[in-house]
Amino acid sequence: MLPAFRELSENGGGNAIAFDYQRLHDRWFEDESQQRLEEVQKRALEVSEIAVSEAPYKRALIDKWTKFVYSRYEGNSV
């Protein structure tokens, strides 16, 4: 696993952030909810920046998935 993705999964990646947003949604009326929202948004931004800056970019793989997605959208098989 790439170090960036290991950090995401170990330090509050997408699932943990989604859980925290859900908890905020369910407890919006609590006094600390604004502060918690700001903390979750900060973590979400950090996770997003790590994923974008350290993710490998392999042109052939991107082309493969682009072709696959468009084929599904257009109703054609790959």
pLDDT at 15: 83
Kindly report the pTM of this predicted structure. Answer: 0.54
Question: What does the angle CA 54 – CA 13 – CA 19 come to, to the nearest 5 degrees?
Answer: 155
Q: Give the CA-trace dihedral at 31, 33, 19, 38, to 10 degrees.
A: -150
* DSSP structural state of residue 30: S
- Residue ranges of the chain with pLDDT lower than 70? 1-13, 51-52, 54-55, 75-78
**pLDDT in the model for residue 26:** 94
Q: Give the three-state DSSP class for 39.
A: helix
Report the 10 Å Cβ neighbour count for 40. 19
For the chain, the domains span: 3-74
pLDDT of residue 34: 95
